Amino acid sequence: MGLGLHLQATLGPETLQTFDDPLSEIVTVVSDHAEASGLRVFFLPHRSDGKLGLELHPAAEWVEFALYEGGTLSCMAKTSTVGPGYHRYLVDILDAIALHLGISWQTDEEASGDDTGYLEHREFARLQHEMATLLENLAAIIHEQHTKGLRGLMLNMPVHYTVANIDGIVTPGGIIPAPSFEEALQPGFDIAAFAERFFLWWDEGLTAATWRNIGLALLWCEVPWHVPNDEREFTICKNALFCFGRSLALDPHIALPESEIGELTSFLADDADWATEAAATGIGYRRLGWNRDIGGGWVIETPGSFYARVEDDNATEVFWLGEKEIWCTSYALEPAKPVSLVDLDSDLRPDSLIVEKNGFVGCANATLKQDADGVDYITMSCLLKAPGTFAMVTIVYPSDASAWAERVFRSIRFEPKPEQAEQVAPHAQT
């Protein structure tokens, strides 16, 4: 469910003759518009097979353009992930494109044109009302899902997002308690005020609040909360600080997340320590547990702020920060059949940690070691088996982090893919 634009235009012979590559012209127009608005740091084009995707805002889905044989140009965009201000911003861009190419945007034959009607009436208050109404409808759906016991619901988030164990509603602007959506359904509730808090870009234009909200979305969803590991992470961190700077320039009294800004600034310092762990509390989903798919149906929860790399010709995934490391490898087993603790007999010790649930078994054994400098550390070797697969996980940690290592081990779970479930079903029935 969402609101957006589904438009098309016809590029006549004169336009096609004037512009050899209309999609490149669109990139130029949008880039200039983003530069003028101050959002150029978030602008990124993607070209592929006669199609063009544009990133305009860190919390928005790509705006998709396609040019078909015969000169038909289409545009599709979802704007309700960000709000009415972003919708207006995109319509301004479409106006600039139409003027440059000499075209007129029309309703897509298979869609509704502008779901909000703003392209026709240009009344911003009505646009805000449409977005608020959408939020009210979403509140009813979320309340229904929550009463059924579903947790960890995400709204306006990328489908690949894997933050773990959150009871509230995950949004680009932070975690919203589920009862807030129930309250939105009560008679007399001020849905417009709720919408102003919910949508990242509620205002008409780039106000101080809008810039702050872009920065907050970066803190919540994009900032890795460790010392940047590459140019992309460095740029994300710098862009967040840039947004807060723009916000403060427009309103010197606006409330900003000072603690997080200070922490982020320390990560960017020349003498920043790569082993520094982020504060346990504060803005940022990467501060929380992160579900990692390590193959074979196995999932492990690691700190979201850990770095990630691959080893052994991409067969082993490694998550690490400072003295803590988690090495994960999965393997296939034939034939696929039910498992029990008997399958772990050769690895079980009197002090082994054991897990037996949901069709899989596992054990973990900790061994005290010393590094070359004589400093103690512990290696926990974990073996887990399930029908048709097993995983080997090695957790390396300082001697004072045993409780953390055990939590990581016990977070491992088996979520079989449909084909895995089919493979074991005949065995389970015998």
- Block means of pLDDT (10 residues each) for the chain, 430 residues, are 92 88 96 96 92 96 93 95 98 97 82 88 97 95 86 84 85 93 93 96 97 98 95 96 98 97 96 91 94 94 95 94 96 90 94 93 96 94 96 97 97 83 43
CB–CB of 225/304 below 8 Å?
A: yes
Dist CA 31 CA 25 (whole Å): 10
Backbone conformation region of residue 328, classed left if phi is above 0, alpha if psi is from -120 to 50, else beta: beta
The three-state secondary structure class of 319 is: strand
Backbone conformation region of residue 266, classed left if phi is above 0, alpha if psi is from -120 to 50, else beta: alpha
Considering the entire predicted model, what is its pTM?
0.91
Q: Which helix (H) or strand (E) holds 308?
A: strand 307-311
Q: Taking the C-alpha atoms of 21, 22, 26 and 28 in order, what is their torsion angle to the nearest 10 degrees?
A: 40
The three-state secondary structure class of 193 is: helix
Q: Which two tokens stand for residue 12?
A: 């006549």
Closest by CA position to 155, among listed 54, 84, 82 = 82
CB–CB of 412/392 below 8 Å?
A: no
Name every residue whose Cβ is closer than 8 Å to that of residue 279 and which is 6 or more positions away in sequence.
259, 263, 287
Q: Which two tokens stand for residue 427?
A: 């065995």
The three-state secondary structure class of 300 is: strand
Q: What proportions of the chain, in percent to the nearest 5, are helix, strand and coil?
A: 35, 25, 35
- Number of neighbours of residue 102 by Cβ within 10 angstroms: 13
Backbone conformation region of residue 350, classed left if phi is above 0, alpha if psi is from -120 to 50, else beta: alpha
- Number of neighbours of residue 155 by Cβ within 10 angstroms: 18
CB–CB of 271/265 below 8 Å?
A: no
Q: What CATH number matches the domain at 4-121, 3.30.160, 2.60.120, 3.30.70, 2.60.40?
A: 3.30.160
The three-state secondary structure class of 203 is: coil
Q: Which two tokens stand for residue 352?
A: 């082994």
CATH 3.40.1000.10 intervals, the chain: 288-429
CB–CB of 384/362 below 8 Å?
A: yes
Residue ranges of alpha helices (H) inside 4-117 are 13-18, 22-37, 84-101
Domain spanning 288-429, CATH architecture? 3-Layer(aba) Sandwich (3.40)
Amino acid at 184: A
Looking at residue 111, its pLDDT comes to 59
Looking at residue 148, its pLDDT comes to 84
Helix axes 84-101 and 124-147, enclosed angle (nearest 10): 130
Dist CA 328 CA 383 (whole Å): 10
Looking at residue 429, its pLDDT comes to 32
Angle, CA of 197, 203 and 207, to the nearest 5°? 105
Looking at residue 420, its pLDDT comes to 60
CB–CB of 273/264 below 8 Å?
A: no
Q: Which helix (H) or strand (E) holds 375?
A: none
Q: Is 84 exposed, middle or buried (0-12, 13-18, 19+ CB in 10 A)?
A: buried
CATH 3.30.160 intervals, the chain: 4-121
Dist CA 342 CA 358 (whole Å): 16
Residue showing tokens 């919708």: 87
Name every residue whose Cβ is closer than 8 Å to that of residue 325 and which is 6 or more positions away in sequence.
318, 319, 394, 395, 396, 397
Dist CA 383 CA 409 (whole Å): 10
Dist CA 194 CA 183 (whole Å): 10
Rg value, the chain, Cα: 26
